[in-house]
Amino acid sequence: MDRIGVRLPNPVGDVVAATPFIRLLKQRHPEDRIVLIGSAKAIELLDGLDTWHEAEAIEDSPSHGKSSSFDEATFLKHLLLDQIYLLPNSFSSALSATIARIPVRIGRRAPFRRFLLTRRLPKVGKPRPMTRVYSEMIGEVQPPKIELGVTERGDRLASETLKGLAEHGIHPPFLAVAPGAAFGPSKVYPCELMAKAVQLSAKKTGLQPVYFGAPEESELIRSVKSIYPAPFLHASLSEMKSLFRECKALLSMDSGARHIAAALNLPQVILYGPTDPRWTNFEQEMTVALRRKDLSCSPCHKKQCPTDHACMKEISPEEISEAVTTATQKGKILSF
């Protein structure tokens, strides 16, 4: 029996996109142990699935660069892995696996790391869904659906939150709103426009809006909330997964929240700005994607907009509220 490690990507959305790969890996290695390695957030997100045997969270290292790679290598060495799939395309992830002397190191070619891999796969190449990018690493070009599971802990936390909201006369069903994006401010819809979109959506659908966001997004969400008040749920990923079952739809950027919702079959309305939707156009059956396609500057993939942020500002709150209404009424919808 081999111990097969999977070094998970860092962004939440990419972790969700890796779930078909993990499912396929377990199917093809039924006698081996699948060991997930990643951030504490990534491990929490994947808790509740039956596709892995062990999960090891890597603590944030106070050092950077080569020192950080040595810290991770020390961690990996104790896991006694026979092989490892490196989903991130970073030099540091390959260096850590090499220093840890893991016999088989599988990853895609990228600058400065081809000689650190024992099985070198083609470069990522042209844009296509990240689910396929990962599943191609084991020879599958038509991956299964993304998936996530809820946990008893998440359900317990969600139940406590719902009781607290009920004491203030706030009840589901909810419209989940995730205004933030870890990528950078260029992905974020302007606060005053988002508040207007939430207000119109709530009026048209009759749903109670609730804001979701990571701690680092608190200031942004409070800015939106100051214009259109609604509860801000400081939920962990475990609790968020359970709370999404109380929601009729999600309004968000092209962010991790969208991928979580898609994996849980919650309809989504997604605002695309500077990023290329071809990387994330998987599980679109319950998605309405809003994007200005006539802009020469988009997609630019820049974290800060160097011009007037037209890719976001030209999506109107009225368009968004119409999309949210469609999502909540039809449930299963096609992108446009």
Q: Give residue 280's pLDDT.
A: 80
Query: Which residue is associated with the tokens 């969600």?
Result: 158
Strand 3-7 relative to strand 33-38, pairing: parallel
CA–CA separation, 242 and 223 (whole Å)? 26
Question: Shortest CA distance to 65 belongs to which of 89, 20, 95?
Answer: 95
Rounded mean pLDDT, 20-43: 97
Tens of pLDDT, residue by residue over 61-110, are: 554 444 588 999 999 999 999 999 999 999 999 999 999 999 999 999 99
Look at residue 333 in the predicted model and tell me its pLDDT.
Answer: 34
What is the per-residue pLDDT for 301? 73
Backbone angles phi, psi at 269, to 5 degrees: -115, 115
Note the pLDDT of residue 283: 74
Give the mean model confidence (pLDDT) for residues 108-120: 94
Tell me the three state secondary structure of residue 261: helix
- Domain borders along the chain are 3-138, 156-330
Q: What percent of the chain has pLDDT above 70?
A: 95
Residue 150: is its pLDDT beyond 70?
yes
pLDDT greater than 80 at residue 303? no
Helix H or strand E segment including 92:
helix 91-99
pLDDT for position 93: 95
Q: What superfamily in CATH does domain 156-330 come from?
A: Glycogen Phosphorylase B; (3.40.50.2000)
| CA–CA separation, 120 and 122 (whole Å) | 7
Measured distance CA(78)–CA(120) in Å, rounded: 24
Has this prediction a pTM greater than 0.75?
A: yes
CB-based contact 182:255 (threshold 8 Å): yes
Q: Give tens-digit pLDDT for 207-240.
A: 999 999 988 889 999 999 999 999 999 899 999 9
Provide the pLDDT for residue 61.
Answer: 53
Domain at 3-138, CATH class: alpha beta
- Looking at residue 325, what is its pLDDT? 94
Q: Where are the alpha helices (DSSP H) in 206-309?
A: 218-227, 237-243, 256-263
Domains 3-138 and 156-330 share a fold: yes
- Residue 330's pLDDT is 57
